[in-house]
Structure 1
Amino acid sequence: MERTTIGRDTRVCMSLSARPGNAGSRLHNWLYDHYGLDYLYKSFSTTDLGAAVGGIRALGIRGCAISMPFKEAVIPMLDGLDPSATAIDSVNTIVNDDGALTGFNTDYSAVRDLLENNRVDPALPFLLRGSGGMAKAVVAALRDTGFTRGTIVARNPESGPALAAQYGYDWLADMPEEGAAVLINVTPLGMEGGQADALAFSPDQIAACELAFDVVAQPAATPFILAAQEAGKRIISGAEVIVLQAIEQFVLYTGIRPEPDVVVQAAAFAHGEAVAARLRKA
C-alpha cells in the first residue's frame, strides 16, 4: 500500500551519522509505504549533537538511528536506557515517547543473528579491529554466541584494553602480521569518504581466513569484502547488519514486525539483490 499524503499528522523518524547515506531512508520509507503507515524517514548529520537530540525531543521525532561517532556520546543526553544499551554502554536507536527519550541498541541482536544464521563456528579464533560503540555490540555478540578465543586490535589505550578485558579477550595496539580464521572490521576503513580505498586487513591475512566480516555498510562491497570474495572466502557484509538492525528499529518505532519475505524485499530495494539474496539464504 502506497502512502497517499504527507501532512501534519505524519510521524517523522530520522538518523544521525557523521556520513549519512540513503540506504536507511530507502529501507524505512519502503516499509512505511508497504504497510500504509503515515511515517517519513530522513537522514541527517550534525556538528552539534546536543542540539540535534534536543530537536528530537522538542519536535516530537518518533525515533532516531544513531551511527558513528555518536553511539556513546549521546548517552548522557537521554532520559533512560533499555537493557540492550545498558549492557554494552552503546546506543544506536532513540525512541521518543511523548518527550521521554530512551536509548536502545539493535546492533547487538543483528550481529548475533547473522553469526548464528551463517553458522559461524564459535570454536574459531577471531581478530577484530576497533573499540568504539559498534565494536562493543559486536564483541558482546561474539561472546554470547560462544566465541572464547579472540584478539581486539585498537590503538586507543583506554577503550581497547578495557573492551578486551570486559569480555575476556586479548588486546593489541597494532595489527599483527598473522591473522585469524575470522576477521572482523569495526572501523571506518573502507567506508565511503576519506578512507574508501583502505583495506582493513592485509592480503595475506585475508588469504588465510575462513570468514570476512565487515560492519561498514557504505558501500556494502568494501575493499575488504571484495578481496575476501575474490579469495573465495565466506563473507558477512555491513549491509546485512544494517538491514537487520534497521528492522528492529522499525519494530520499535511502529510496533509492526515485518514478515521475512518483506524484509528481503525491503533489503533488495535499499541495498540491492546481492544483499537480499544473502539474507534470503541465511
Structure 2
Amino acid sequence: MQMKPLIGRDTQLCMSLSARPGNFGTRFHNRLYELTGLDFVYKSFSTTDLDAAIGGIRALGIRGCAISMPFKEAVIPLLDGLAPTAGAIDSVNTIVNDDGVLTGHNTDYGAVVDLVADLDRAMPFVVQGSGGMAKAVAAALSDSGFRNGTIVARNERAGRALADLHGYRWASVADGAVALLVNVTPLGMTGADAEALAFPAAMIAACEVAFDVVQYPIETPFLRAAAAAGKRCITGADVATLQAVQQFMLYTGVQPDAAQVADAAAWARANS
C-alpha cells in the first residue's frame, strides 16, 4: 500500500454537499486516496446557501463535489454544462471543476445500470419516488431495457412526468404483485420514517428482488423483511460504493483496482 502524502499547498480538495452529510463518502474517498497514493483530501459539508457554495467551488479551485439531497436538481442552473447522462436525466450528483468550468455528472445512473445488469428485462417493477435519485433510477432501468414499469409518487405532477418520459405508468400508491421493487424515498431512514416499510408486506412477499437506495441503515425495514422472505436484496451501500468509484475516477483520472475498492468500502462502512 502506498502512503498518502501529507497535506500541503498542492493537495487537491474534493467535497460533498448534502442536507444531512454522512461519513461513508468522506471515508471512502480518503481511504482510496491513501491506497492509491494520491495527494487529495475529501471533506463533507452542508449549506444553507447553495449559490455561494457553488461559487466557492469555482473560486477556490475545488476539484470535485458530490451533490446529494436536496440539491441534485437545484444545482443545475449554477453549472457551466452537463455531461450527456446528467442532461438527459436532469439530475446531478457530481460536479467536476476544470479550471473554473463546472460540469455536472450523474454517477448514480451508472451505479444502477451495473447493479441491475443481470436481472431479467421482462420483470415488472415499481420505482417509488420522483426526485433526483428516482430520475437516475428510472433512466437506468429504461436504458437497460426494462419496459414494464410503474412510478409510484405522491407528487402526481412529478410522478406522471417521470413515468411519461420513459413510457411507464404512474400510480399514487404501490400495490399488486411486482417482481422488482425499488425504493427511492426516505422511508426506512432515521427519524420518523425509521421503522416504516417502503412497500406493503404483501408486495414484499411477492417480489423477487428488493432494491433500496437508502444508505443508512444498510438494512432498512424493507430490506430486512425481504431478506427474511428469501428475496435477493440490493442495498443503498451497493449504490453508494459504485457511484463513489465513478466519482473518484472523474476527480482523479485514476481507476482503482477491485481490491482497493473493496478495502475502501469495508473501511468506510466500519468507521461510519
Q: Is TM-score (shorter-chain normalized) higher than 0.5? A: yes
Q: Contact (CA 8 Å) 2:33, 2:39: kept in 1 or not?
A: yes
**Structure 2: gaps of 5 or more residues:** none
SS of 2:9's partner is coil
| CA distance in structure 2 between the aligned counterparts of 1:53 and 1:100, rounded to whole angstroms | 11
| CA distance in structure 2 between the aligned counterparts of 1:84 and 1:62, rounded to whole angstroms | 20
1:13 partner amino acid: C
Shift of 1:191: 1.8
**Residue 41 of structure 1 corresponds to which residue in structure 2?**
42
Q: Contact (CA 8 Å) 1:129, 1:152: kept in 2 or not?
A: yes
Q: Note if 1:29 corresponds to 2:27.
A: no
**Residue 64 of structure 2 corresponds to which residue in structure 1?**
63
| CA distance in structure 1 between the aligned counterparts of 2:250 and 2:38, rounded to whole angstroms | 14
2:186 partner amino acid: P
**Residue 19 of structure 1 corresponds to which residue in structure 2?**
20
**Residue 172 of structure 1 corresponds to which residue in structure 2?**
171
| CA distance in structure 2 between the aligned counterparts of 1:192 and 1:29, rounded to whole angstroms | 25
Shift of 1:28: 0.2
SS of 2:196's partner is coil
| CA distance in structure 1 between the aligned counterparts of 2:266 and 2:259, rounded to whole angstroms | 11
Question: RCO greater where, 1 or 2, for CA within 8 Å and sep 6 or more?
Answer: 2
**Residue 138 of structure 1 corresponds to which residue in structure 2?**
137
1:99 partner amino acid: G
Shift of 1:46: 1.3
Q: CA RMSD in A?
A: 1.4
**Structure 1: gaps of 5 or more residues:** 273-282
Q: Contact (CA 8 Å) 2:174, 2:199: kept in 1 or not?
A: no
SS of 1:69's partner is coil
Shift of 1:264: 1.6
| CA distance in structure 2 between the aligned counterparts of 1:16 and 1:105, rounded to whole angstroms | 14
| CA distance in structure 2 between the aligned counterparts of 1:63 and 1:196, rounded to whole angstroms | 31
Shift of 1:51: 1.2
**Residue 197 of structure 1 corresponds to which residue in structure 2?**
195
Shift of 1:97: 0.9
Shift of 1:148: 1.1
Shift of 1:92: 0.5
TM, length-normalised to structure 2? 0.96
Percent identical pairs in the alignment equals 65
Count, aligned residues: 270
Residues 43, 194 of structure 1: alpha-carbon distance in 2 compared, 3 angstrom cutoff: farther
2:31 partner amino acid: W
Q: Contact (CA 8 Å) 1:127, 1:179: kept in 2 or not?
A: no
